[in-house]
Amino acid sequence: MTLTPGGTTHRRTLRWQTAKVVSVRDETPRARTFRLALPEPRPHLPGQYYVVRLTAPDGYTAQRDYSVASAPDDSGEIELTVERLDDGEVSEFLHEVVVPGDELEVRGPIGAFGWDGSGPALLVGGGSGVVPLMAILRHARRLGRSELVRLLVSVRSPEDLYYADELPGPETTVIYTRQAPPGTQRPTGRLTVADVAPLVRGDETAYVCGSAGFAETATAALLEAGVPAERIRVERFGPSG
């Protein structure tokens, strides 16, 4: 098995910059997207993340990593979608306090999880794990290369689905683990190899993102469906809040 860097090689110093919140919108009752204007924008590889750092008047800081949901473009702006976690020190603050016009310290883009647009990609996301995969889907659509990408999203119920207006398309599949919309043929339940196998083409790189538990389930299904381990990249979302 080999694990090669999925992203670009970058060894540059990652400076903090002060981003301005341009807009805020709700994706679900627990997820909110923050659009940030960057004074020093840097193109990200779709899939990468930014660090957000909060600083209290006494110098106490808390920082967390959030995946970029937007595709790289020349707007000088990025979108971060943040799931609100119970007792999450940073996510609660972002949801409850931050409004357009506020400033946030950020640095990035960071991370080895990313798609450069050059080859077929199978994206498998659980819950909030769809965020970096949405950046990839949006990038593929912008490039006019959406045939390269297949996206499978697993959510508990329709109200937990991020980007619900934008997701539907020939390249996307949504499965429901607890409660499905009326008329859904697939019985509700966890992702299995039967969900993944029809999407496997044989030459793709798979990108899995979600909780550690989801990542284990999804990678096991992909391996069983014949995707070799060296072509599976995983971004595990921690419970850090």
Partner 1 sequence: MAGITRGFVGKRRERDPRLPPGQYDARDEWPVLHAEATPHIPTDRWTFTIEGLVENTVTWNWDEIHALPRSRYEGDIHCVTTWSKLGMTFDGVSVDTLLAAARPLPSATHAMAVSHTGYTTNLPLDDLTGGKAWVVWAADGKPLDTIHGGPARLLVPHLYFWKSAKWVAGLRLMDHDEPGFWERNGYHDRGDPWAEQRYQGD
Using CB under 8 A as the criterion, which residues of the chain lie in contact with partner 1 when the complex forms? 1-7, 9-16, 18, 53-57, 59-65, 87, 89, 92-93, 97, 102-105, 107, 110-113, 212, 215-216, 219, 222-223, 229-230, 232-236, 238-240
What is the smallest separation between the CB atom of 170 and partner 1, expressed in angstroms?
A: 28
Q: Please identify, using beta-carbon distances, which residue of 131 and 180 lies nearer to partner 1.
A: 131
Nearer to partner 1 by C-beta: 141 or 231?
Answer: 231
> And the tokens for 22?
């341009």
Q: Compare residues 5 and 169 and give the one whose CB is closer to partner 1.
A: 5
**Cα–Cα distance measured from residue 167 to residue 160, given in angstroms and rounded to the nearest whole number:** 13
Shorter beta-carbon distance to partner 1: residue 103 or 147: 103
Sign of the Cα pseudo-torsion (126, 158, 201, 6, in order): negative
Distance from C-alpha of 41 to C-alpha of 108, rounded to nearest angstrom = 9
- In terms of C-beta density within 10 A (0-12 exposed, 13-18 middle, 19 or more buried), how is residue 14 classed? middle
Environment class of residue 214 by beta-carbon count within 10 Å: exposed (0-12), middle (13-18) or buried (19+)? buried
Give the nearest distance from C-beta 209 to partner 1 in angstroms. 11
CA torsion sign, 113 to 119 to 122 to 128?
positive
> Min. distance of Cβ 223 from partner 1 in angstroms?
6
In angstroms, give the least distance from the CB of 219 to partner 1: 4
| H helices present in 65-157, as ranges | 89-96, 130-143
Q: In angstroms, rounded to a whole number, what is the distance separating the alpha carbons of residues 130 and 145?
A: 19
Q: Which residues contact 229 (CB under 8 A, 6 or more apart)?
A: 1, 223
Q: Which is nearer to partner 1, 4 or 185 (CB)?
A: 4
Q: How far is the CB of 75 from partner 1 (least distance, A)?
A: 23
In the complex, the smallest distance separating the C-beta of residue 196 from partner 1, rounded to whole angstroms, is 13
CB-based contacts of 97, cutoff 8 Å, min separation 6: none
Q: How far is the CB of 153 from partner 1 (least distance, A)?
A: 20
Q: Which is nearer to partner 1, 14 or 164 (CB)?
A: 14
Choose between 180 and 227: whose C-beta lies nearer to partner 1: 227
Contact in structure between 136 and 142 (CB atoms under 8 Å): no
